[in-house]
A and B are shown apart, each in its own frame.
Chain A
Amino acid sequence: MASEAAGTPGCTVTVNHQAREFTGPPHANALDFLRGLGLTSCKEGCAEGECGACAILVARPDGERSRWTAVNACLLPAAALEGQHVLTAEGLGTADEPHPVQREMAERGGSQCGYCTPGFICAMAAEYYRPERAEEQVAEAPVHHADGPNGFDLHALSGNLCRCTGYRPIRDAAFALGVPEPEDQLAQPPTAGPAATDYRRADTPAGQPGRYRRPATLSEALRILAEEPGTRVVAGATDWGVEVNMKFARAQSVLAVDRLEELRRVVQTDDHVELGAACTLSELERALAGRIPLLSLLWPNFASRLIRNSATLGGNLGTGSPIGDSPPVLLALDTQLVLACSAGERVVPLHDYFTGYRQTVRRPDELITAVRIPLPLAPLVSFQKVAKRRFDDISSTAVALAFDVEAGLITRARIGLGGVAATPLRATATEQVLIGQAWSGETLRGAGGILAAEGTPMDDHRASAAYRQAMLGSALERFFAEQDSGTGAGA
């Protein structure tokens, strides 16, 4: 509670094992803070979470332990680092004593101009230390071309851009890494000690415009929201950070909800799975471990590992964006949202949540606390994200499908659409037409026209309206082909 102790100038962050003070305004990002300390390995390549040149390591709590988590410093408010441990490329090693990740990258030609390199080093180091990697290494043949023989998941680097190398040497460096040596101190990231409770409050110092607060409990957060209208809620800051950097957004009062325990649970009951709105997508991915197959299809298609390490479902739904990727999936899963305010809780079906372009039924004093996915899950699912680039791109369209088929007949059909209207949609007309029909290529092809008519897509720089329409039109046929071939690729 730094600022409440009179005379304490700012918040304290441990950077490369040294205590440093942050005294800037609440919108100031970690990138500028670190560069201001002379840690210029941290680079600004885009200021919107796309290039990874700013990637740093933060020790984040992970159940009983903690793990080095790579995040985009350009999006992360510096104040969010109060009490945390941060590593930059400078803190990993030196030319005389390089870190294994640094040595492999240098020796194998992993850097040319070197500008992207420290960011790659941090993202790679996080994967090097990922506790599950050693276990996966036992698996004989890599399952996916993105997995190295050493269990290194290349998706860990999907949020890092390099304009020089063409990536092959970086991949080879990643795949050449061994396991951390027993004496490697960094293999045991610092645990969330007393500092961990401290960073729940990271009020900015007096005299600076605005406040950055990270309350300890949900009720306190809701009280602030009720009493201080205009307070800006921030979770992973992957949307908020972009607005700050690109649109000059500033806020007098920032309320961080990313550490509220009440918003960070994953609970399974007999009739639903409840996912905390402030769990990061990476955490959900690990916690669910494939239990909800449609979500497993979503994760690798959602931004990059760096972004998923911060981004939350609450934030994805909080923006009300028509091109968010979780809404189509959650619509197909028939999800309900739990909304809370200081007066109490209500449960809203997701398909009633969106009311217009970036408009929702959520009141300013409400927080999304969780999403509830009913059980049992439909067995046939597909997630079709159409974008220019395969990794880390925003959807032109996204279609999620979840079907039940019994005795050759479609008994339940849920279709969520993104990118084809002012809000995410359920394709209810198509769903109704399909119920009771035979599960066959012919039926699904036949219904393509109906689905195509459910959206009112637009032309923009990502795609033409005609293409978006065509993607809707072919989604059902593609779904059938995927299920038919069993590869998921519909070849």
Chain B
Amino acid sequence: MSITHNQRPEGAAVGRSIPHESAYAHVTGAAKYTEDLAGALSGVLHAYPVQSAHAHARLLRLDASAALQVPGVRLVLTAKDIPGVNDQGAKHDEPMLPVDEVMFHGQPVAWVLGEDLEAAKAGAAAVAVDYEPLDALVTLGEAIAANSFHGIQPVIDKGEPAAALAAAPHAFSGEFEFAGQEHFYLETQSSLAHVESDGQIMVHASTQHPSETQDIVAHVLGVDAHRVTVQALRMGGAFGGKEMQPHGYAAVAALGAVLTGRPVRVRLERARDLSMTGKRHGFHASWKIGFDEHGKIMALAAQLTSDGGWSLDLSEPVLTRAMCHIDNAYWIPNIQVRGRVAKCHKTSQTAFRGFGGPQGMLVIENILGEVAPKLGLSAQELRRRNFYVPGQDTPYYQPVRHAERLHRVWEKVLESSQFATRREQIEAFNAAHPNSKRGLAITPVKFGISFNFTAFNQAGALVLVYKDGSVLLTHGGTEMGQGVHTKVLQVAATALGVPLSYLRLAPTRTDKVPNTSATAASTGSDLNGAAVKDACEQILARLSVLAAGELEAEASEVVFADGAAHACGRSVDWKTLVSKAYFSRIQLSAAGYYSTPGLHWDLSAMRGEPFKYFAYGAAVSEVQVSRFDGSYQLRRVDIVHDVGDSLSPLVDRGQIEGGFIQGAGWLTLEDLRWETKGPHRGRLATASASTYKLPSFSEMPPVFNVEFLQDAHEDGVVYGSKAVGEPPLMLAFSVREALRQAVAAFGPAGHSVKLASPATPEAVFWAVQEAQEAREGTGHVD
């Protein structure tokens, strides 16, 4: 039986708009998270970190004796207690506990285990640590000036960028530094470990990458992977922040459990999580761009430097994805992009929805927004003129499959948002209102789907059919709210032709499906859906032989649908068939597997076809800005996005809207600040929910229209669908560009606006001031 990903039987479970599989558990509070499991265990110890008070220092002495006198304190874990490898990452540059040097303010130097949190906290406060402060690099600028980099320094090179820039009739250059972003998953990092009666080490962790958590726990403990089981029940949000970051905390819990023989719980308080875990990388970009007389890009030369923090973590692949997305939707025939990762004394920056893609795309979108007025073009016209057309390829030589969809989403959203009419209305509004201005902008998204690192593009699943016909599924994907379990259930119900009620999905565990990839890069449903489908098809292949006998037909004629096998106008009920299969000694379980075909990538040359396909979208946003304080409101958003043939429309719409608002938060509101001076230099100044502000209801646009691109079947992907987790985040560029339009309206005609990122009200205020001064300079005053 061949895998035909495309065909959807009539009445299929895929494509139906159904609530999240845990929706009723969420709303009634019945859904459990890692932390909630502690209540069912007795004798749980609570771990609390002792955090470094310096951004960079030699660790001279660590004395836990006073802490051990605190009532309720059981153990203080330090580097000396680690029996295996003292490393919580995959690059051997990230000690789980420091031996002689601390690398960022807030780094855990020891963990105190107490009978309750109160005791552990009091114990942590009693641990005496002596430091010898060393020079620290806190800002990206400081690291660049000090030539402090780590990891690879890849280069994309295509065509003749230098010559084309020299020849370009219009050339511009600039620099742009923009901020990272805190994940702020509502559930902070959380692990719970205990040793089972047979010596198996059981780790419950809020992790996107259970297999890697397992590897790292095993090497920290100095045991083989088969001694450690990791279960990821569900996560209260992750967004990339639980791809690499959970491993160290899981290892602390496991080590504590092994040393004490009691369950150990590690749950970071919000302020601990903010000060200890990695974030989206901020970047510095310097760029030169050349255009021909029609506003077509001739060449781009750019240097991207990411703010990697103290250890490499995922900084290298994040950087390469940023470089591979600097083109966004635009054909750049001659291009050179150099990338590097700054090493400095901050948290180790990590994966975050989009994984560098947003940062690369922000560079080009910022350039286009800034230079459009200088070219005498509207920003939307400049963007449209430079779109890829079919037949062109990316800076890394991958053909741009389905480039025509870019034009389709664009035209569609211009129409559905009534862009032209509203632009006129906005001009009229702006002419009549000296103190506030509106802005309207449209921006595109093209985003490559697959892990850049080819080996990660594989997945496994386990499908068990029980004698009564009920089915239990497990797959390697983890559920963080993105709906992968919902989609996988729909895929399995479709593949087996049974009602959803026959299926149950068990939590993700490394002893069910081994060697899984992180649930990341938006690939969760593509990969795991395909692996589950493979397992289902293996089982059906066996059952169809049996059914053929029952139905007096050929096995190839048997169709599974509506809870039965059908052929030649006859049917046999699923449950009956399964029961017969058991008694006929037919295997009713299967391990499924999938690896994405056709991918190749040469990192040293930054060339290849790293992506299976691209996801497309376009968004129109309207804002209103007040000149008095730079405050603004997002008034309306229209989106047309390409999700292929949606597997689960309610889930997909949720991903689009949620990603969009998260992107808008990154670009406008969320403001990570580190102390750069004074005694607390290097400390995160916004390490709490009261100082780091996420979008709330006030950031939701009152009008928010989302449409899927029609006729968007994606060949060769499970049931014609497309990944949707990350791409919509970047639709939020339209908000930033709308702000730029509104600010420009305070200035003289053709005013080019430089806008900081995040474009907080204060940043917008200063941009408005600049625009007003430019207007006064031209003698044009109201």
Contacts and interface: CB of A to CB of B under 8 A. Distances in A.
B696 A391 contact: yes
B245 to A, nearest CB: 16
Contact of B234 (A93, A114, A154, A471): A114
A52 to B, nearest CB: 9
B706 to A, nearest CB: 8
Interface stretch (A311-319, A362-370, A403-411, A459-467): A459-467
Most chain B Cβ neighbours within 10 Å, of A88, A157, A389, A460: A389
Contact of A40 (B36, B651, B686): B36
Interface stretch (A62-70, A166-174, A215-223, A278-286): A166-174
Interface string B691-726: 101111111101010000000000000000000000
A386 to B, nearest CB: 5
A291 B693 CA distance: 32
Contacts, number: 258
B236 A114 contact: yes
B286 to A, nearest CB: 25
Interface string A476-487: 011001000000
Interface in A149-186: 154-155, 157-158, 160-169, 171
B481 A113 contact: yes
A115 B187 contact: yes
B690 A50 contact: yes
Nearest to A41: B29
Contacts of A158: 696-698
B483 interface: yes
Contacts of A427: none
B628 A114 contact: no
Contacts of B688: 46, 48, 50, 246
B700 A51 contact: no
A45 to B, nearest CB: 5
Given A50-B690, A109-B654, A95 B25 contact: yes
Given A386-B631, A388-B671, A114 B481 contact: yes
B21 to A, nearest CB: 11
B637 to A, nearest CB: 9
Nearest to B765: A467
B22 interface: yes
Given A145-B702, A470-B765, A490-B626, A38 B658 contact: no
Given A47-B270, A102-B27, A467-B762, A171 B629 contact: no
Given A114-B31, A164-B481, A388-B760, A246 B696 contact: no
Contacts of A248: 121, 125
A416 to B, nearest CB: 17
B26 A114 contact: yes
Contacts of A478: 435, 628-629
Contacts of B223: none
A444 interface: no
Given A161-B186, A386-B761, A111 B270 contact: no
Interface string A373-397: 0000000000010111111111010
B24 A95 contact: yes
B239 A102 contact: no
A491 B23 contact: no
Contacts of B270: 44-48
B19 A113 contact: no
Interface residues of B, number: 81
A113 B121 contact: no
A428 interface: no
Interface string B143-169: 000000000000000000000000000
B237 interface: yes
A53 B186 contact: yes
B20 A112 contact: yes
A103 B26 CA distance: 11
Contact of B761 (A46, A388, A392): A388
For the residues of B in contact with A, the DSSP-based class is loop
Interface in A336-357: none
A462 B697 CA distance: 20
B41 interface: no
B433 A491 contact: yes
Contact of A45 (B186, B234, B761): B186
Contacts of A266: none
A17 interface: no
In this complex, the member of A50, A112, A171, A391 whose beta carbon has the largest number of chain B beta carbons within 10 angstroms is A112
A162 B658 CA distance: 9
A358 interface: no
Contact of B691 (A146, A154, A461): A461
Interface in A281-337: none
B628 A474 contact: yes
A134 interface: no
Nearest to A96: B24
A168 B704 contact: yes
B24 A112 contact: no
A107 interface: yes
A89 B121 contact: no
20 contacts: A44-B270, A48-B690, A89-B29, A93-B27, A105-B23, A106-B26, A114-B25, A114-B236, A115-B481, A118-B26, A163-B237, A164-B658, A171-B697, A248-B125, A389-B696, A390-B633, A391-B697, A462-B691, A481-B628, A491-B435
Interface of A: 35-36, 38-48, 50-51, 53, 88-90, 92-95, 98, 101-103, 105-107, 109-118, 121, 145-146, 154-155, 157-158, 160-169, 171, 242, 246, 248, 384, 386-394, 396, 460-464, 467, 470-471, 474, 477-478, 481, 489-491
Interface of B: 19-20, 22-33, 35-36, 39, 121, 125, 183-188, 234-239, 269-271, 433, 435-436, 480-483, 626, 628-629, 631, 633, 650-651, 653-654, 657-662, 669, 671, 673, 685-686, 688-691, 693-700, 702, 704, 760-762, 765-766, 769
Q: Which 10 A-B pairs have the closest CB atoms?
A: A41-B29, A113-B481, A115-B236, A114-B26, A166-B661, A112-B481, A50-B689, A89-B29, A390-B698, A46-B689
